[in-house]
Amino acid sequence: MKKLFTTCMPQTLSYLARTMLLIALLTAFQSCKEPDIINEPAVLKQDEKDTQLQTLSSFLAGVTGAPIDKVKYINEEKKFVIDGDMEISRTSAEEYLNAEKTGRVNQKRAVWLLSDNVAKDVKVYINPSITPEWKEAVREAIYEWNHMGDMKVNFREVLFDYNTDVVVTAKYEGPNPSSPQPWIARQNMPDIDGTTGGGMTINTYYNSSSLLSKSEKKFAMVHELGHVIGFAHTDKPTQGLIDFLVCDTPVWDANSVMNFVVGSWTMFSYYDHVAAMVLYPEHTWKNLPGQATDVAASTGTDIECCG
């Protein structure tokens, strides 16, 4: 908070003049005040004003495996924040809930995925306000995903915030009684129309290397780009509403980059590769060894994967 210094007033000033000067000083003092804490956007309690919030929150908790108290609704932005870093707009949450009521085509795929044309060219814009170390972390994360191999997803940094899929911005949020360990970054999950759903927000509280190392920053950015393409938290099992288990992957993968807790970056786990190839295969058809002479095609609607 800024301090305001004043000089002594001459004794000859009239009472009216002193009063007017006092009012002016108080006004200037108020206009120069800086907030000690940057407030979060207003979070609407789930039992106030909107009865559907409880339904949507419970639904999102079920499909992501997050505890109900980890599903927060930001009223000003009309979106939910799940487990501290996954974001989804209210509109998409309502559409997913309606889709759940009418049934799903495939029980064994992730709910949130990018459309084919978006996945092949995910444009990322890094706001100039992002610090150099975070910028480097984002760029290295883009490199790691693009060199995973055998999947169609491709991230591309762009220089202008125009027709962009992911806009990386910054916001400060320090510790508080309800959140002693603040979130590191947040990323929107894909919307129901197959688009990226919005941008990424980095918490500048962690700018210092003493709070988050360079390697941990890279891990966090690789993790958030995983959310861009619809990957949920590997170590948050679902509660049966929607099966997020990807074909040929285990229920638990201690080495996955999509685990909730940020660690030092080493590499993608084997099953991170498998999940990416299953959900976003680079090629529809692959040449495999064999002697088949009669091959038929199927719509796939009656085939169960991972059964």
> For the ranges 13-22, 73-82, 118-127, 194-203, which has the lowest average pLDDT?
13-22
pLDDT range class, residue 208, cuts 50, 70, 90: very high
State how far the Cα of 29 lies from the Cα of 183, in Å rounded to an integer.
34
Q: Which of 76-80, 96-100, 141-145 has the highest mean pLDDT?
A: 141-145
- Range of lowest pLDDT (41-50, 87-96, 109-118, 200-209): 41-50
Cα dist. 264→86, 108, 187, 217 in Å?
20, 31, 20, 8
- Whole-angstrom Cα distance, residue 43 to residue 57? 13
Residue 5 has pLDDT above 70, yes or no: no
Name the least confident of 103-117, 134-148, 284-298: 284-298
Q: Compare 264 and 81 and report the one with higher pLDDT.
A: 264
How far apart, in Å, do the first and last CA atoms of the chain sit? 61
**Between 112 and 126, whose confidence is greater?**
126
| Stronger pLDDT, 96 or 276, i.e. the higher one | 276
Label residue 111 by pLDDT band (50, 70, 90).
low
Burial of 31 (0-12, 13-18, 19+ CB in 10 A): exposed
Q: Residue 187: phi, psi to the nearest 5?
A: -145, 135
d(CA 256, CA 245): 14
Residues 115-164 pLDDT 10s: 999 999 999 999 999 999 999 999 999 999 999 988 999 999 999 988 99
34-43, 117-126, 169-178, 190-199: range with lowest mean pLDDT: 34-43
Q: What is the pLDDT of residues 247-281, one digit of tens each?
A: 777 777 889 999 888 999 999 999 999 999 988 99
DSSP E strands: which ranges in 49-115? Answer: 71-74, 79-82, 86-89
Mean pLDDT of the chain: 74
Average pLDDT over every residue of 298-307: 39
**Helix 214-228 vs helix 132-146: angle between axes, to the nearest 10 degrees?**
50
Mean pLDDT value of segment 185-189:
90
What is the mean predicted confidence (pLDDT) over 164-186? 92
42 vs 29 pLDDT, higher one:
42
**For residue 193, is pLDDT > 70?**
yes
pLDDT tens-digit readout, 230-242: 888 887 655 443 4
Q: What's the pLDDT score for residue 89?
A: 79
**pLDDT of 167 higher than 60:** yes
Among residues 33, 34, 35, 39, the alpha carbon closest in space to that of 174 is found at 39
Q: Is 139 exposed, middle or buried (0-12, 13-18, 19+ CB in 10 A)?
A: middle
Does the pLDDT at position 168 exceed 90?
A: yes
Range from 37-41, 227-231, 254-258 carrying the lowest mean pLDDT: 37-41
